[in-house]
Chain A
Amino acid sequence: MSAGIAMAMLGCLIAAMILIPALPGYDPYGQNLSAGYTEPFQTIEGKLYLLGADALGRDLVGRLALATRVSLAISVAAVAISMTIGVTLGLIAGFFRGPAETAIMGIADLQLSIPRVLILIAVTAIVGPNLVNLTLLLGLTSWVSYGRVARAMTLSLREREFVLAATTQGASPIWNIRKHLLPNVMPQMVIVGSFELGQIIILEASLSYLGLGIQPPLPSLGLMISEGQTALEINPWLSVLPGMVIFIVVAGVQFISQGFTAEGADARTSAMAAP
C-alpha cells in the first residue's frame, strides 16, 4: 500500500522533471531581481511563482526540475560505474583466487577503513570539484559492496557442476566468467545497486552541499539547500523544497529496493530448495 504511494510519487516526480523544462516560462537560469525570495504561490509581475523563487528571482520549479535531473543523472551514472568495477573485480577475485584475490580484497578493506565521505572530500580537494569528477569519484569509491557480494557468490558458483563441466570441456576462464558466472551474479548486483542508488543520491547531495560537488550556476539539490541556508529566515522554502525532493526520491528508491530484496530472498530460498 504505502510502497505503491511511494512509487507513484517517485513516478510523478520523474515525469515532472522530464516535462517541466520543456514548458515555457520555467527557465532555470532566467533571473528577475524584483522577484527575489518570492514565496510559493505568489504572483509577481503577472507571473505565478508556484514554488517561489531564489535570491536572484529564478523560478524554483524550473531549477528544481533541472537539479533533480542533474542529481539523478550523476547518481545513476555513478551506480553504473561502480557496479561495472565491482562486478569485474569481484568475479576476478572469486574465480582466479590467489594473489589477485588478496590484492583486490586488500584494497577493499583499506577503502572500508576510511569513511567514504572523507575519501571523496580529500580527492575532490585535489582533482577539483565538477560534474565529471564528482560522477567518476562517486563511481570509483562505491564498488566495494558489489565486489564483496560478487566474490562471495563466485566462490560457490565456481564449484558448481555447470562451471566444472565447461572447464573440463576446455572453456577459457573468460568464457566461463562471461557465460556462466556473470548471468548468475547479475540479479544480486541489481539488488545491491538499488540499495546503493539511495545512498549515492544522499552522498552526492551532501558533497554538493559542502561545496565539493556540482558548482554554480548549474543547480543540484544539495547546492540549492546550501544556497537557501543563507536565507533561512527570509524564505525557508528555498532549502525545504529541494530537501523534500531528495526525500521523495530516496524514499521511493528505498521502497523499490526493499521490494527487490524481499523478492531476491524468495528467489534464493526457492533456488536452494530446488534439488
Chain B
Amino acid sequence: MTRFVLFRIGQSVFTVFGVLTAAFFLVRLSGDPTALLLPEQATAAEVAALRTELGLDRPLWLQYGLFLGKALQGDFGMSFRQHSSALGLVLERLPATLELALTAFVLGIGMAFVAGLALRLSGSRRLRALFYWIAFVRQAIPIFWFGLLMILLFSVSLRWLPSLGRGGIEHLILPALTLATFEFALYLRLLDAAFSEQQTQDYVRTAYAKGQTRARTILQHMLPNALLPIVTVAGINLGVLLGGAVVTETVFSWPGVGRLIVQSVSQRDYPVIIAGILVTSVVFVLINLLVDLLYAVLDPRVRLS
C-alpha cells in the first residue's frame, strides 16, 4: 500500500512538472513578449532594458531553472494587462469555478443514480430506452449550445432566471444544469453498464437463491460493487467536467478560471494563462490522486497487487 501511495504521489508530481515544462517552452517558442508590453515606438534601449528586467537575455536553461524555482514558490509573474500577480488573479476566480463544477457534479451524478436505480428497480425496458435516449441526445449536443437553449427558454422567453453573471442561487441554476445534464448522460451509461456487469455475478444468484428481495439485492449487494468502476472513471471524467466548465463559464459570463483563461488568451496575457492552466491541472491531478487512493481503500485487490 505504501509503495502504491508513493508511486501515485511521484506520478502526480511528475505530471505537474511536465505541465510546467511544456508551458515554459511553449511560451518561449511563441516569441518575444516585449513587443506586447511596450508601445510600438519604443527605442531599442527600452526593449533591451525590459528584456533584462524579464530575464530574457539569459541562456534558455537558466531561464527555465529560474521559472521552475519561482513557480514552486507560486510566483508566475505579473499579469501583462492588470497590475496584480497572475496567480492571485487565478486564485481569486477559483472559488467560482469550484462552486459551479461541484454543484454540477453532485447534481449530475445524483440524477444519474436516481435514474440508474429507478430503471434497475423497476426493470422496465421502456424506462431504460427513454433514459438511454435522453443520454444519447444530450451527448450529441455541445455544452455551449445547450447553455444557449437554456438561456433562450428560461431567460429570454420565460424571464425566470438571469442569463449571466454570478450572484445568488438563481445565477447558479442555469450554468449548473447545463453542466449537470452532461454529467448525467455520462454517468447514467457508466452506472448502467456497471450494474449489468454485476447482474451476472454469482453473489447475485446466491442472494436471490436465499430469498433476498430484488430491492435489497440491488441496493445492498450490487450497488457497492457497481460503485467501484464508477470511482475509477470519476477522476478521468473530471477532465471533461473542467473542460466543460471553461465553455459553460464563457456562455454564462460566469467569473471563473476558465473564462479568465479564455479572456487572457485574447489579450495574450501569458503569465495569467500559465497560472490558470497550472492551477487547473493541479486541482485535476490532486483529485485524481485522491480518487485513486480512495479506490485502493475501497478495493483491497488494488492495494495488494
Query: Interface residues, chain A, CB within 8 Å of chain B?
Result: 109-110, 112-118, 121-127, 198, 202, 205-206, 209-212, 222, 225, 229, 232-233, 236, 239-240, 243, 246-247, 250-251, 254
* Contact across chains for B246 and A233 when beta carbons are under 8 A apart: no
* Contact across chains for B26 and A122 when beta carbons are under 8 A apart: yes
Partner-contacting stretch, out of B46-54, B68-76, B86-94, B138-146: B138-146
* Contact across chains for A209 and B144 when beta carbons are under 8 A apart: yes
Distance in Å: Cβ of A189 to nearest Cβ of chain B: 21
* Contact across chains for B19 and A114 when beta carbons are under 8 A apart: yes
* Contact across chains for A126 and B30 when beta carbons are under 8 A apart: yes
Give me 18 other A-B pairs in contact (C-beta within 8 A), A122-B274, A240-B149 excluded.
A113-B281, A114-B281, A115-B242, A115-B243, A118-B281, A121-B246, A121-B261, A121-B265, A122-B277, A126-B30, A211-B262, A222-B142, A225-B148, A232-B152, A239-B148, A240-B148, A246-B141, A247-B137
Question: A114 vs B20: C-alpha distance in the bound complex, in angstroms?
Answer: 12
Which residue of A114, A202, A206, A210 is within 8 Å of B284 (Cβ)? A114
Q: Known interface pairs A126-B29, A126-B30, A243-B145. Does A116 touch B243 (Cβ–Cβ under 8 Å)?
A: yes
* Contact across chains for A246 and B142 when beta carbons are under 8 A apart: yes
CB-CB nearest in chain A for B242: A115
Which residue of B142, B156, B251, B280 is within 8 Å of A202 (Cβ)? B142
Question: A247 vs B137: C-alpha distance in the bound complex, in angstroms?
Answer: 8
* B250 interface hit (Cβ, 8 Å): yes
* Contact across chains for A122 and B152 when beta carbons are under 8 A apart: no
Question: A110 vs B152: C-alpha distance in the bound complex, in angstroms?
Answer: 39
* B121 interface hit (Cβ, 8 Å): no
Distance in Å: Cβ of B271 to nearest Cβ of chain A: 12
Q: Specify which chain B residues have a CB less than 8 angstroms from the CB of A122 in the assembled complex.
A: 23, 26, 261, 265, 273-274, 277
* Contact across chains for B265 and A247 when beta carbons are under 8 A apart: no
CB-CB nearest in chain B for A110: B18
Count of B interface residues, CB-CB < 8 Å:
48
Question: A247 vs B142: C-alpha distance in the bound complex, in angstroms?
Answer: 8
Q: Known interface pairs A114-B284, A118-B280, A209-B247. Does A243 touch B30 (Cβ–Cβ under 8 Å)?
A: no
* Contact across chains for A125 and B239 when beta carbons are under 8 A apart: no
Distance in Å: Cβ of A201 to nearest Cβ of chain B: 9
Q: Specify which chain B residues have a CB less than 8 angstroms from the CB of A209 in the assembled complex.
A: 142, 144, 247, 250
Question: A222 vs B277: C-alpha distance in the bound complex, in angstroms?
Answer: 23
Cross-chain pair count, CB within 8 angstroms = 127
Question: A205 vs B144: C-alpha distance in the bound complex, in angstroms?
Answer: 9
Question: A206 vs B146: C-alpha distance in the bound complex, in angstroms?
Answer: 12
Question: A206 vs B141: C-alpha distance in the bound complex, in angstroms?
Answer: 11
Question: A115 vs B288: C-alpha distance in the bound complex, in angstroms?
Answer: 12
Q: Known interface pairs A121-B265, A246-B142. Does A229 touch B246 (Cβ–Cβ under 8 Å)?
A: no
Question: A198 vs B137: C-alpha distance in the bound complex, in angstroms?
Answer: 13
Q: Specify which chain B residues have a CB less than 8 angstroms from the CB of A109 in the assembled complex.
A: 11, 15
- Can you give 9 A-B contacts (C-beta < 8 A)? A115-B239, A117-B247, A118-B261, A122-B273, A123-B26, A126-B26, A126-B29, A210-B262, A246-B141
Question: A67 vs B19: C-alpha distance in the bound complex, in angstroms?
Answer: 34
Question: A124 vs B273: C-alpha distance in the bound complex, in angstroms?
Answer: 11
Q: Known interface pairs A236-B152, A239-B145. Does A113 touch B265 (Cβ–Cβ under 8 Å)?
A: no
* Contact across chains for B15 and A113 when beta carbons are under 8 A apart: yes
Q: Specify which chain B residues have a CB less than 8 angstroms from the CB of A121 in the assembled complex.
A: 246, 261-262, 265, 273, 277
Q: Specify which chain A residues have a CB less than 8 angstroms from the CB of B140 in the assembled complex.
A: 198, 247, 250-251, 254
* Contact across chains for A232 and B156 when beta carbons are under 8 A apart: yes
Question: A112 vs B251: C-alpha distance in the bound complex, in angstroms?
Answer: 25
* Contact across chains for B27 and A243 when beta carbons are under 8 A apart: no
* B268 interface hit (Cβ, 8 Å): yes
* Contact across chains for B273 and A225 when beta carbons are under 8 A apart: no
Per-residue CB contact flags for chain B residues 73-99 toward chain A (1 = under 8 Å, else 0) read: 000000000000000000000000000
Interface centre among A113, A117, A127 (most CB of B within 10 A): A113
Question: A180 vs B120: C-alpha distance in the bound complex, in angstroms?
Answer: 44
CB-CB nearest in chain A for B16: A113
Question: A121 vs B145: C-alpha distance in the bound complex, in angstroms?
Answer: 19
Q: Specify which chain A residues have a CB less than 8 angstroms from the CB of B136 in the assembled complex.
A: 251, 254
CB-CB nearest in chain B for A258: B136
Question: A246 vs B141: C-alpha distance in the bound complex, in angstroms?
Answer: 7
Q: Specify which chain A residues have a CB less than 8 angstroms from the CB of B144 in the assembled complex.
A: 205-206, 209, 222, 225
* B266 interface hit (Cβ, 8 Å): yes
Q: Known interface pairs A125-B270, A202-B142. Does A115 touch B15 (Cβ–Cβ under 8 Å)?
A: no
CB-CB nearest in chain B for A123: B26
* Contact across chains for A243 and B142 when beta carbons are under 8 A apart: yes
Question: A114 vs B244: C-alpha distance in the bound complex, in angstroms?
Answer: 13
Question: A246 vs B140: C-alpha distance in the bound complex, in angstroms?
Answer: 8
* Contact across chains for B242 and A118 when beta carbons are under 8 A apart: yes
* Contact across chains for A240 and B18 when beta carbons are under 8 A apart: no
CB-CB nearest in chain A for B261: A121
* B236 interface hit (Cβ, 8 Å): yes
